[in-house]
Structure 1
Amino acid sequence: MLQFFKRNVIFEGVDCYANRTSVEFQEAAMRSQTAMPGPSQVSFGNYTIFFGAGIILAACIKNIWFQVADSRYRNNGQQTKSLSFLESFVATLVSNSRYIGYKPINSKICTLLGLPTSVGSLLFILASTAYLACYCFVPSYWLRGCSGFGRPPICVRAGVMAAAMTPFIYILSGKSNVITLLTGISYEKLNGFHRWSGVMTLALVLVHCIPFVYQALLEGGSTFLAETFSSEAFWSGYPPFILLVLLCLGGNSWFRARVYEGFLHLHWMCGIAYFATLVWHIHKVLNMQRYMWGALAFWSTQLIYRALVKTTFKPNALFLKPRPAIVTMLPKDSYEVVVTNVADMEWKAGQHCFLRFTGSRILDNHPFSISSIPCTTSTDSNKLRFIIVPRKGFTGKLHKELESTIISKKKVYLDGPYGGTVRDPLAFNNLSLISSGSGVTVCIPFLTYVTQHIAQSIANGTEFIPKDIHFVWIIRHEEHIDWIRDELEQAVTIAGDYVTIDIYITSRRKFPSGNIISATSSSGNTSNFGEKKKFSDGIYIHYEKPKVTDIVLSSARYLRRRAMFVSSGSESIRGSVASGVSSLQSLVLNNDTERSSPIEEIFLHSEGFGW
């Protein structure tokens, strides 16, 4: 066999390949192990766990702080009090973080490289990568004088750290997971960190493998390399390595967007196989199996909880039974799905469910935002409503099945609800809802929920906090208004001047004659983008493509103490809203003394459809 890369490596007078059985070699090996014991590298796994646990603890504290603040502001009259020193300090700190963190990144670059679309998430990933890289590479003892003296320290460090990443990978993979429970961050927003954890683990695995290959080739060429990798300790690592590569490649945003259903099934099968083969590879080595059993404990608990609480395995009258659904065609090649018999379910504005239709679509499971809110008078009349614009894959196939009929009765299995925000929209003075296309299904439940609360408060003569609600919807065709016409008119009817609705039609067409009004509505809360027509009281239609960032920035004049923005739809829309809200953070940092009250918080909740 060709002895490529071989040269005589002499360490302390010992030939690392030719003298492996000599007494001198054994004595040199003992000195090397004394200087850097292999088991001492186990602590680097602890450093990895401590770092992840510390981040989760910080996010948990933040979650508790904001939930308490929302509750106090809504229920205890805190809106009339000035900020304490601690509250002012936290508001400034949070605003600085959001000013940087909300800034969007070019979506094409993010999709290509699998990076997050916000500066804040990217900085967190870079900082975490730097932390792990420093702990892996900064200790100067990388290799041993001879490979026969024991495993290279850098290989052991990297391997232990890769094993310690395993619990985070599997916790973050769950739709119902302990990190979401503690931090309030929904699983789809954690998905980017799930993918990063996998990629970082792959990088550590490569660091774990490469020095073995390098040192074996250096000392004995291909012959020694074959000898080294013939043991079970080495060839048992091939399967988990290959599976991890497949998981990382399959988890790329570009790939998932094009073959979502295929990716979903391949991913969970590879995930199970990776776990099993990794247990085999590291079994009883440096006590690394503890990371695997910890990951298994969290993973199995999350799966059991999800099955018994969120899916058809929920122990009630609908156990293993599908629910009736009515599918109706809507204008412009869209359709709605209304699921009945959901008295056992509770959900909030902004949440979504996974739908699995019986029959030919039984293997397809796809997420859709819930466009309805629970009925406050009777749970028996609750309905889950979904508005779906068909694309490739599952939604397109279902739409083709419906083309021959206007109304179709289906049976569907529900998995959910998931997502949304833990923040209370009723604890904010200003609520701006900005969406495009079918992304309106995220925003319309917020509008319905808040306006119904206002109506109830007016009827009861009680005070309410949301005083300014601005709903902006960007669509291609005017016929799309029929999707939510009833909800829009009802919101304006019951909440009156507290609500302003602006709908932008972007398709090219001649502006309609008649009913033309000035560019600024009576509430003064609409952006000056040109002519529009009055659709009905409080609802205005603009026939143009708006500058979304300008819409967000124009709200600065009307912001009160606490403001909440919700955005959904295309990446460009969400990016523009995020950019605008980032700029508005300066209002918190530099409060105008002429205002009746300081601006305490400007919060953004964004929902994408890249699950």
Structure 2
Amino acid sequence: MLGLFKRGVTFEGMDCYADQTTHAFMEAGMSSQSEIPWAHQASYAKFTIYFGAVVIFIACLKNIWFRFYDNSYLKNAQTSTNPSLFKSFVSVIISYGRYIGYQPINAYLCKWLALPTSLGSLLFIIASTAYIACYCFIPHFWYRGCSGFGSPPLAIRAGVMATAMTPFVYVLSGKSNMITLLTGISYEKLNGFHQWAGVSTLVLSIVHCVPFMYQALAEGGTSFLAETFDSKYFWSGYPPFVLLVILCVGGNSWIRSRVYEWFLHIHWMCGIAYFATLVWHIDNALDMQRYMWGALAFWATQLIYRALVKTAFRPSALFLKPRPATLTKLPRGTFEVVVTNVADMKWNPGQHCFLRFAGSRVLDNHPFSISSIPCATNKDANELKFIIIPKRGLTGKLYEELNESITLKKKVFLDGPYGGTTRDPLAFNNISLISSGSGVTVCIPFLTYVTQHIAKSIENGTQFIPKDIHFVWIVRYEEHIDWFREEIEQAVSIAADHVTVDIYVSNRKESEHTQIHESSTDEKKIESNQDSKSINAEGINVFFTKPDVKEIVLGSEKYLRRKSMFVSSGSDSMRRSVGSGVSSLQTMVFNSDLDNRTYPIEEIYLHTEAFGW
């Protein structure tokens, strides 16, 4: 290896700087190129693409398997008592993966090191990073004997690998993208991998640049470095590098959470500029432009699909037209948004939409979970309901307007729906819905959807798989129960034998002298007092305490059946507790042969919803 900044490096008796025009130097250069051809470096880009393609293919197979598994269980659950040997084997393998993957990462490490929240995601990122690092750095040559023999192999290798990462960066950036379509993993869960791909590209870009600088300084000092960098290939690399730094640094969660609107618009503008300047920098070298055109094709396709299917550009009667929305102020610093005229839309429990309010803040676009489900009998009666806790920016401005009027009429552009899960909740015997605060907007649609299915099945005399639904909601103030009191009471009334509702009010001092009204046949009212620990009325329990969420999850062990589903949304600490608890429960799957149960535990699945930007 070259000595660090050693002026006057020699190779086989030749001075790498002074003897560049000699015949011997040229022959040595041709020999170096014959040993390590410059054109051969393009193969490193291919194997970067191959790695990503294999990962996506495996995730696609997993998605297909679960769709088949749920569909098969829906058809055969009433007649089949035990799964096949193959299904049992697959279930055990998956449960081992979930046992590791569902484990949460320490919150402080996630915050300060920008790590993913689950161990599974972290291990995947570590494995992917190790592959890229090993393939880039070992066991291949880093430098040629002299810079005059050609570009350092390490620099070219890192550059083409960075270019090959570009399609993944742009595909993963889309709300509607090909990877989501194939794998069933929603874009917000892929966002962490989008950030990882961007940072990996930045690191590879630095590795691409450093060998040129290092070798030039070592052979001829700063004057030779200036000569080396005085070419189109070098100064055209500055703009995409600077833009990539802005994209990666600006994408940090600390920055996004504080200046989201600024981040959003700067991010997409820098993304377009980065693509254009990178094409300029590549200048058809090693046919690397093929990866850029591939990235552009995927990027443009998903943008067009999103515009025509998910937004106001959808070809329909509401083309480029906003929808009517009613904003209503609720107790304790919250408000509700109800959007009507949505008969043309379809959505599933757990999904969300981006709302863009017409007027002075039309550029602001924020995600909110849909807390309602489509009406099965009358599409014209459909409405999208959102519960919003105002913060800075758009939601804070809207709440200020509500301070002057309890109800406001607005016009809103919808973008969505997105998110949710590809798993069918009706194919699970047990469903546990655990949420805190406004995270309940994710769980309420699942409660409504499943209980309506149960009620319809009972009415028609048909069989149904979900037998136990446990709804757990942690609120700060008792008044928050009114957000979804009607939906909860209705769910309990139509499927009383199959639903248990536990609501925990953590701020007791603020809630001691309020009343809780529970629907029942005699329209009774139950008043809480300072000494009461819980209230039970028609299957609804209200506890004035802050619960141990993990204990709630682990306590469900005795109720689990063949297939169980957990849905979690809310604070980071609550979701970590649920993840840890469900991870521990996986032992019931791979140790099911040790239990004295009349039926095996086949699956314990966890679905979480959270927005980290």
TM-score, reference length from structure 2: 0.95
Q: Structure 1's 500 and 268: CA in aligned 2 closer, same or farther, altered over 3 A?
A: same
Q: Is the 8 A contact 1:548 1:573 kept in 2?
A: yes
Give the corresponding residue for 1:296.
296
| In structure 2, C-alpha distance between the alignment counterparts of 1:536 and 1:405, rounded to whole Å | 35
| In structure 2, C-alpha distance between the alignment counterparts of 1:79 and 1:281, rounded to whole Å | 63
Give the counterpart letter for 1:602 in structure 2. I
Deviations 1:554-581, CA, capped at 9 Å, x for gaps: 0000000000000001100100000000
Q: Is the 8 A contact 2:563 2:604 kept in 1?
A: yes
1:454 matched to 2:454? The reply is yes
Q: Name the SS of the counterpart of 1:286 in structure 2.
A: helix
Q: How does 1:26-175 map to 2 (within 5 A)?
A: 26-77=26-77, 80-175=80-175
Give the counterpart letter for 2:568 in structure 1. S
Give the counterpart letter for 1:596 in structure 2. T
| In structure 1, C-alpha distance between the alignment counterparts of 2:477 and 2:22, rounded to whole Å | 83
Give the corresponding residue for 1:541.
542
User: C-alpha displacement at 1:79, in angstroms?
Assistant: 6.5
Give the corresponding residue for 2:583.
582
Q: Is the 8 A contact 1:323 1:341 kept in 2?
A: yes
Give the corresponding residue for 1:24.
24
User: C-alpha displacement at 1:22, in angstroms?
Assistant: 1.2
| In structure 2, C-alpha distance between the alignment counterparts of 1:485 and 1:511, rounded to whole Å | 18
Give the corresponding residue for 2:567.
566
Question: Where does structure 1 lack aligned partners over 5 or more consecutive residues?
Answer: 516-529
Q: Is the 8 A contact 2:96 2:590 kept in 1?
A: yes
Give the corresponding residue for 1:525.
none
Q: Is the 8 A contact 1:101 1:120 kept in 2?
A: yes
Question: Where does structure 2 lack aligned partners over 5 or more consecutive residues?
Answer: 517-530
| In structure 2, C-alpha distance between the alignment counterparts of 1:419 and 1:28, rounded to whole Å | 58
Give the corresponding residue for 1:609.
611
Give the corresponding residue for 1:518.
none
| In structure 2, C-alpha distance between the alignment counterparts of 1:466 and 1:113, rounded to whole Å | 41
Deviations 1:416-454, CA, capped at 9 Å, x for gaps: 000000000000000000000000000000000000000
Q: Name the SS of the counterpart of 2:472 in structure 1.
A: strand
| In structure 2, C-alpha distance between the alignment counterparts of 1:113 and 1:229, rounded to whole Å | 34
Give the corresponding residue for 1:554.
555
1:196 matched to 2:157? The reply is no
User: C-alpha displacement at 1:392, in angstroms?
Assistant: 1.9
Q: Name the SS of the counterpart of 1:453 in structure 2.
A: helix
| In structure 1, C-alpha distance between the alignment counterparts of 2:573 and 2:170, rounded to whole Å | 31
Give the counterpart letter for 1:548 in structure 2. V
Q: How does 1:590-609 map to 2 (within 5 A)?
A: 590-591=591-592, 592-609=594-611
Give the counterpart letter for 2:604 in structure 1. I
Q: Is the 8 A contact 2:160 2:288 kept in 1?
A: yes
Give the corresponding residue for 1:257.
257
Q: Percent identity?
A: 68
Q: Is the 8 A contact 2:63 2:184 kept in 1?
A: yes
- How many residues align? The count is 594
User: C-alpha displacement at 1:605, in angstroms?
Assistant: 0.2
| In structure 1, C-alpha distance between the alignment counterparts of 2:492 and 2:39, rounded to whole Å | 68
Give the corresponding residue for 1:523.
none
Q: Structure 1's 152 and 514: CA in aligned 2 closer, same or farther, altered over 3 A?
A: closer
Q: Structure 1's 226 and 514: CA in aligned 2 closer, same or farther, altered over 3 A?
A: closer
| In structure 2, C-alpha distance between the alignment counterparts of 1:442 and 1:29, rounded to whole Å | 64
| In structure 1, C-alpha distance between the alignment counterparts of 2:570 and 2:259, rounded to whole Å | 20
User: C-alpha displacement at 1:396, in angstroms?
Assistant: 1.2
Deviations 1:85-141, CA, capped at 9 Å, x for gaps: 211111110000000000001223212222100000000000000001111011331
User: C-alpha displacement at 1:205, in angstroms?
Assistant: 0.6
User: C-alpha displacement at 1:78, in angstroms?
Assistant: 6.2
Q: Structure 1's 394 and 88: CA in aligned 2 closer, same or farther, altered over 3 A?
A: same
| In structure 2, C-alpha distance between the alignment counterparts of 1:168 and 1:183, rounded to whole Å | 14
Give the counterpart letter for 1:549 in structure 2. K
1:285 matched to 2:312? The reply is no
Deviations 1:48-105, CA, capped at 9 Å, x for gaps: 0000000000000000000110011112336633121211111110000000000001
Q: Which range moved further: 260-269 or 70-79?
A: 70-79
Q: Name the SS of the counterpart of 2:495 in structure 1.
A: helix
Q: Structure 1's 421 and 514: CA in aligned 2 closer, same or farther, altered over 3 A?
A: closer
* Structure 1 segments (4+ residues) deviating >2 Å: 75-81, 510-515, 530-536
User: C-alpha displacement at 1:534, in angstroms?
Assistant: 2.3
Give the counterpart letter for 1:11 in structure 2. F
Give the counterpart letter for 1:96 in structure 2. Y
| In structure 2, C-alpha distance between the alignment counterparts of 1:240 and 1:77, rounded to whole Å | 56
| In structure 1, C-alpha distance between the alignment counterparts of 2:178 and 2:108, rounded to whole Å | 32
Q: How does 1:282-431 map to 2 (within 5 A)?
A: 282-431=282-431
User: C-alpha displacement at 1:210, in angstroms?
Assistant: 0.4
Deviations 1:299-337, CA, capped at 9 Å, x for gaps: 000000000000000011100000000000111110000
User: C-alpha displacement at 1:532, in angstroms?
Assistant: 3.3
Q: Name the SS of the counterpart of 2:404 in structure 1.
A: coil
User: C-alpha displacement at 1:7, in angstroms?
Assistant: 1.3
User: C-alpha displacement at 1:236, in angstroms?
Assistant: 0.3
| In structure 2, C-alpha distance between the alignment counterparts of 1:609 and 1:291, rounded to whole Å | 31
User: C-alpha displacement at 1:514, in angstroms?
Assistant: 11
| In structure 2, C-alpha distance between the alignment counterparts of 1:48 and 1:124, rounded to whole Å | 15
Give the corresponding residue for 2:269.
269
TM-score, reference length from structure 1: 0.95
User: C-alpha displacement at 1:512, in angstroms?
Assistant: 6.4
